Amino acid sequence: MSVRILALVGSLRAGSHNRQLAEAAVKLAPSGAEVALHEGLAEIPFYNEDIDVEGDVPAAAARLREAAAGADALLLFTPEYNGTIPAVLKNAIDWLSRPYGAGAITGKPVAVIGTAFGQYGGVWAQDEARKAVGFAGGKVIEDIKLSIPGSVVRFAETHPADDSEVVEQLTEVITRLHGLAGEPAAA
């Protein structure tokens, strides 16, 4: 049985370094694991209980919930916007938190990592994302952390998948999350 890890990226920008980091994670998944990059966060309307009606949930939100329900764990990649989590990622978490107490991520292991331009690599945004995921019912893995600073300079001419330090750290993150998702990582 393979462990499915759903990856959500909090940046919509085509050249996003966090998206590149997520693409690297897809390639680095260990044997027995699959990292699936979810597309379509931009199409999900802002969460509103009035449109979260059973049988009539907006299609993009329903696809997100279905993808999360089918995952064994989640891996969130977040940049830092004005010292906090991007709206698109927070909105995804809000949709995944419902129905209250029985959302698609309830009890699932969730790790939050990312890269940002600043000297701390987006730790404030990552902390905010962990907080939101915890309230949403996810089992936040607090000790899985990866904050890569200086993204604009570090990845100006190098894809994260070609940075040996990043590859080593990202592989460790995925391997640990894989193990926590219910199946020991292959050696």
Kindly report the average pLDDT of the chain as a whole number: 94
Question: Residue 1: pLDDT band by 50, 70, 90 thresholds?
Answer: low
pLDDT (average), residues 20-49 = 96
The H-or-E segment that residue 7 falls in is strand 3-9
CATH architecture for segment(s) 3-180: 3-Layer(aba) Sandwich (3.40)
3-state secondary structure 58-120: CHHHHHHHHHHHCCCEEEEECCCECCECCHHHHHHHHHHCCCCCCCCCCCCEEEEEEECCCCC
Tell me the three state secondary structure of residue 4.
strand
pLDDT at site 182: 74
pTM, to two decimals: 0.95
Sorted by where each begins, the domain ranges of the chain are 3-180
pLDDT at site 101: 87
Rg (CA), the chain: 16
Q: Taking a C-beta distance cutoff of 8 angstroms, is the pair 61, 104 a contact?
A: no
**Rounded CA gap, 183 and 174, in Å?**
12
Q: Tens of pLDDT along 122-137?
A: 999 999 999 999 999 9
Q: Tens of pLDDT along 53-65?
A: 999 999 999 999 9
What residues contact 8, with CB distance under 8 A and at least 6 apart?
38, 41, 74, 75, 76, 77, 89, 92
Q: Taking a C-beta distance cutoff of 8 angstroms, is the pair 153, 121 a contact?
A: no
CA distances (Å), origin 100, targets 8, 51, 97, 183, 187: 21, 15, 6, 28, 38
